[in-house]
Amino acid sequence: EALVLGGIIQELLADRSAGNPLSFLNEVRIRDGQIFVRDDLLGLSWAAPAADISLRRDIVGLAGDIRLGFVGNRDPATLDAAFLFDKRDQVVDFAAGFSDISLESMAAVLPILAPVGGVTSRISGSVATSVSLDGTLGQTGFEVRGLAGSLKIPGVEMEPLPVRDLTMRGRYDDASQRFDLDEARVSLGSEDEAGPVLSLSGVFDYEPQTGGDWLIDAEAKLEGVPLADLPRYWPESIAEGARPWVTENVTTGRVSSATAKVEIQVPDGDFAAADLVSLNGDLQYRDLTVHYLRPLPPIENIAGTATFDAESLRFAVASGSLLSLAVGQSTVEITDLGKADPQRGIYERLTVDTKAAGAVADALAVVDHPRLALLSKLDMSAEGSAGTFSADLGFQFPLAKALSFDDVALQVDASITDGALRNVLLGQDMTDGRLSLQLDSSGMEIAGPLKLGGVPVSMRWKESFLEDPKVRTVLEAEIARIDDEERKRFGLDIGDAVVGPMSANVSVVSAVEGLWTLEVAADLSDTTMALSEISWRKDPGVEASLRLEIPVDDRGPVAFHNVVLQAGDLVARGQARPGPDRQGIGWARFDRLAFGRTDLQNVVFEQADGSIAVAVENGVLDVQPFVEEDDGDEASQAAGETQPAPQNAAAAESPREFVPLSVRAPNLERLYFFDDRRLEQVNLELVRSREGWETIRLSGSIPEQYWSPRDAPEEPPGGQAGGQAGEQAGEQDGADPAEPPVTLDRRYLQFSLAPDASSNGLRLLARSDDLGALLRATNITDTIVGGSIRIIGSSAGPTPTHPISAKVVARDFVMVNAPALAKLLTVASFTGVLDILRGDGIGFEGMDGEFILDDGVATTELMRIYGPALGLTSKGKIDFDNDVIDLTGTVVPAYSVNSFIGNIPLLGPLLTGGEGEGLIAVVYGVKGGVDDPEVSVNPLSALTPGFLRNIFNAGPQSDDFQAVPERIDR
């Protein structure tokens, strides 16, 4: 064809002298001609039923004009063209204008137009090119304008996009088979509804030598895309995993502009098999609404920019809002584009890093949404919350349709100011919180100062979100100061035991669902502590601390472990368990319980059914504080302090009821009574029922420092040294024969008040082989030296509800510097006897009598003490609870000879003055406080011999013997 065209042109331009017929033509015109073309090879047929063609000689060569009105594949079109052949360079320059041409039809015929074959708009425009005489096509340029139609991108599965209009400008180089699209602008949408504007430029290299491959290097810009229309413009085959998530969850807003640079290889001209070599671009957006985790409230008003490539899409968010929360600079990244394989569980991933700030209430409303319910899981509510926060948030999850919260990797770093939350702990509200929060998929940590129930607290809270963690919850709190009223608000009212401010470190650990461990370390140095049960007290300023661990479940405390209380001289180390219904203390064991001189080991306390049992393995017990406490109460009563009156007469007459108690301490090293006054190697047993004491057993050794001097071994009470009366008392009352052996290196006490099976009552037995040592060791009195004592008695039931009737027998003791007796002898003017008392002391052979002990008051009708120098009788009462005495009796100064004479029948009265002439004596009265009673005397001129015999005889007294004799007149 090129040869034919070249030959015709050469003939037209030949010299006329050559005789070539065409060389004589100056111009050729065809008017209203018709042209018909059918190319079976290309499958192309078209017709130009209206053709105007002119060809003329020109100064440089040939020129021509063509105007065609033609129909190709039933699509009418027009063409206006002009051409010029320059004989100097042998090239035909061609320029044409066209209208109403179908690119779709032309691309079906010409492979070179395949990239624009998806444009259905009918186009108008111009084209300019050149052709050499050998048929070589030179540079071709074009400009195109299109009307309404549609656009379908080759090789991309998506619905055709409606087009309002378009313009294109480009070039084609036949030598390099390269198509340059300098600019293309496509206005999408319709006349009724405008759509985005798409701008394109790029290079399209066609390589027929490789079978027709296309290499496309293009740049595109899309402006004004409503997010609601995003699915229309996002091909389903691109980022298959990301597309559903983005199109479903980014629901409103607008992409202001988006640009992309793309490199595509199309093998064999098959756009359906196109291979994306590279992709990158950026976009700008505003007013987006993003549902990050439905049905949580979405983030709204999002504005920012983004960049993307073939594998990822990265958003840089400038601003946004979540409820009233301000969303600051953030990044959102969708990665693994093109790698997703949902059938194998491989998805694109969404990663978000964002900043947010606003009201705590709105943030808590999000985290407590039913989709998350984080507060509800902690038994808290967002209602009434307050404060502000700022946070850095990050989360990542796969873009899968079936997404659970477990699939979300979360990271939160937040700070809270003036935070407030209701009913956080023990019914108390949190206020003034200045907290930091770290949270990820594995757990949460909150730390900082706050007020809980008005109490300043520094807190650290760790919570694990793992399915089966070793530790679920750790809550640590440092309380700098909490006073009495504040403790009451927390339900921690401990009465008068601890009064005043304290500080504490508290930790709560939960390792098993429903079970917590509470660890407490408290500083009690500024408190006043008082434990009336052990008569112990600590004043403010004395160092004190408490440590313990408390396992707690839904019902309350399970146990109290590793209890360590150190307060002044008080040390308590042990463990405990709560009582029934988790109330109070049901059981406790102290490895050590020490206060003052008391130092006990392995003390077990148990409380059940209203009774208390105490067992002590060994140690030292000091009863002095208890005695002093009782003395203080008695002093208050003596001073006139009133006691609560019974509400009615029936209550006053009703029998007292005691708390059942048992105490067993079989191996006490020492039992202190006052200062260093003590017993050693003590066995103590106490049993009390609701009626009173049923068992009191006390036995022990008297320390050597208190022993009375002995020239030779003495027999115990009831032996020969004790006299016949002692033997008879023991035999008559069934004294326990199993007495400790009497040796020079041991002095002892045995006291037993215990049930007696033979009488269904109680039996009393008390004895000691060194009365003076016993009274000194127990701090009763230092005025007695030596002697032995036995007390035998019985009771119909527990004391003090039932009285105790008893006999007492003492033998061979000396009384030295006894203040009460000295006062009596002074008042009675018995100076001789008084001098003996102040010297080596008054020796007594014995003391015996009977008494009844009823509710702390001892009553006797006759008690006698006798010896070589003095004899006394007594009757009356001693109130041990109130230390009050009321006694009357007779004092008889009797030297040994007078006693001997008084015992001689018939001769006694003669030798002592005749009938009615007895020894001089007095009747006395002692009344008032034990320490300093009032003493009164009434002299007697004489005593009957029988009375004297009953005083000084160690044997049985006559039945008519009385403590105060009848007066005998001379």
Q: Are 120 and 99 in contact (CB under 8 A)?
A: no
Residue 729, SS3 per DSSP: helix
Q: Are 840 and 869 in contact (CB under 8 A)?
A: no
- 106: containing domain: 90-243
**Given a cut of 70, is residue 854 above it in pLDDT?**
yes
| 498, 603, 608, 659, 766 from 693: Cα distances, Å | 31, 21, 18, 10, 16
Q: Quick one: pLDDT band at residue 516, thresholds 50, 70, 90?
A: confident
Query: Cα–Cα distance between 73 and 531 in angstroms, integer?
Result: 113
Residues 6+ apart with CB under 8 A from 262: 216, 217, 218, 219, 220, 276, 278, 279, 281
- The neighbour count for residue 551, using CB atoms within 10 Å, is 15
For residue 764, give the nearest of 693, 714, 702 by alpha carbon.
693
What is the reported pLDDT for 334? 86
pLDDT in tens, 675-725: 889 999 999 999 999 999 999 999 999 999 999 886 533 433 333 333 333
pLDDT in tens, 746-799: 789 999 999 998 888 999 999 999 999 999 999 888 889 999 999 999 999 999
Rounded average pLDDT over 897-922: 50
**Given a cut of 60, is residue 378 above it in pLDDT?**
yes
Output 379 or 569, whichever has higher pLDDT. 569
What is the reported pLDDT for 488? 84
**Given a cut of 80, is residue 12 above it in pLDDT?**
no
Residues 6+ apart with CB under 8 A from 281: 220, 258, 259, 260, 261, 262, 307, 308, 309
Q: Quick one: pLDDT band at residue 660, thresholds 50, 70, 90?
A: very high
Q: Which of 197, 214, 243 is the last residue of a domain?
A: 243
Query: Cα–Cα distance between 439 and 435 in angstroms, integer?
Result: 13
Structure tokens at 345: 């569980």
For residue 899, give the nearest of 865, 862, 940, 870 by alpha carbon.
870
What is the reported pLDDT for 608? 85
Average pLDDT, the chain: 81
**Given a cut of 80, is residue 809 above it in pLDDT?**
yes
Q: Which of 225, 243, 261 is the last residue of a domain?
A: 243
**Given a cut of 80, is residue 504 above it in pLDDT?**
yes
Rounded average pLDDT over 400-410: 76
Q: Quick one: pLDDT band at residue 111, thresholds 50, 70, 90?
A: low
Residues 6+ apart with CB under 8 A from 680: 669, 670, 671, 700, 701, 702, 703
pLDDT in tens, 36-89: 877 776 666 778 888 999 988 888 888 999 998 876 555 678 889 998 988 888
pLDDT in tens, 582-621: 877 889 999 999 998 999 999 999 988 888 999 999 999 9
Structure tokens at 644: 């609560």
Confirm whether 496 is domain-assigned: no
Query: Cα–Cα distance between 653 and 646 in angstroms, integer?
Result: 9
Rounded average pLDDT over 519-528: 95
Rounded average pLDDT over 408-415: 88
- The neighbour count for residue 316, using CB atoms within 10 Å, is 15
Rounded average pLDDT over 716-741: 40
Confirm whether 9 is domain-assigned: no
Q: Quick one: pLDDT band at residue 897, thresholds 50, 70, 90?
A: very low
Rounded average pLDDT over 820-826: 76
Confirm whether 280 is domain-assigned: no
Q: Quick one: pLDDT band at residue 665, thresholds 50, 70, 90?
A: very high
Query: Cα–Cα distance between 519 and 420 in angstroms, integer?
Result: 25
Confirm whether 151 is domain-assigned: yes
Q: Quick one: pLDDT band at residue 969, thresholds 50, 70, 90?
A: very low
For residue 312, give the nearest of 350, 264, 355 by alpha carbon.
350
Rounded average pLDDT over 258-281: 83
Output 958 or 290, whichever has higher pLDDT. 290
119, HSE (Cβ side, Cα atoms, 13 Å): 30
What is the reported pLDDT for 892? 81
What is the reported pLDDT for 637? 45
What is the reported pLDDT for 970? 39
Three-state DSSP string of 163-231 = EEEEEEEEEEECCCCEEEEEEEEEEEECCCCEEEEEEEEEEEEEEHHHCCEEEEEEEEEEEEEEHHHHH
What is the reported pLDDT for 192? 85
**Given a cut of 60, is residue 908 above it in pLDDT?**
no
**Given a cut of 90, is residue 805 above it in pLDDT?**
yes
- The neighbour count for residue 404, using CB atoms within 10 Å, is 8
What is the reported pLDDT for 942? 47
Confirm whether 755 is domain-assigned: no
Confirm whether 837 is domain-assigned: yes
What is the reported pLDDT for 109? 63
Confirm whether 110 is domain-assigned: yes
Q: Are 862 and 950 in contact (CB under 8 A)?
A: no
What is the reported pLDDT for 478? 95
Q: Are 436 and 415 in contact (CB under 8 A)?
A: yes
Supply the Cα-derived Rg of the chain in whole angstroms: 60
- Helix or strand run (H / E) with residue 630: helix 624-638
Output 338 or 430, whichever has higher pLDDT. 430
* Main-chain phi, psi angles of 375, to 5 degrees: -70, -40
**Given a cut of 50, is residue 330 above it in pLDDT?**
yes
Q: Number of folded domains in the chain?
A: 2
Residues of the chain above pLDDT 70, percent: 82
Give me the amino acid identity at 275: D
What is the reported pLDDT for 836? 66
Confirm whether 217 is domain-assigned: yes
